[in-house]
Amino acid sequence: MSKKTKHTNGAIGTVIKDFLPHPKELLLKDDSVKVTIWLSKESIEFFKG
């Protein structure tokens, strides 16, 4: 890549409005419930693989 890019002092282009939604709006709404359970060490080792 020996060819150099020439920059001019003119305007490059127009600024485009941010059209992407906020990251929180991209998440699917899901009805969920937090649950706490007690497991034996054997069960934990089984699920850890």
* Continuous H helices in 1-49: 23-26, 41-48
Statement: residue 36 has pLDDT above 90: yes
39 Cβ neighbours under 8 A, 6+ residues apart: 47
pLDDT score for 1: 60
Q: Mark 18-38 as b/e (b = at least 16 C-beta within 10 Å).
A: eeeeeeeeeeeeeeeeeeeee
- The answer to whether the pTM exceeds 0.85 is no
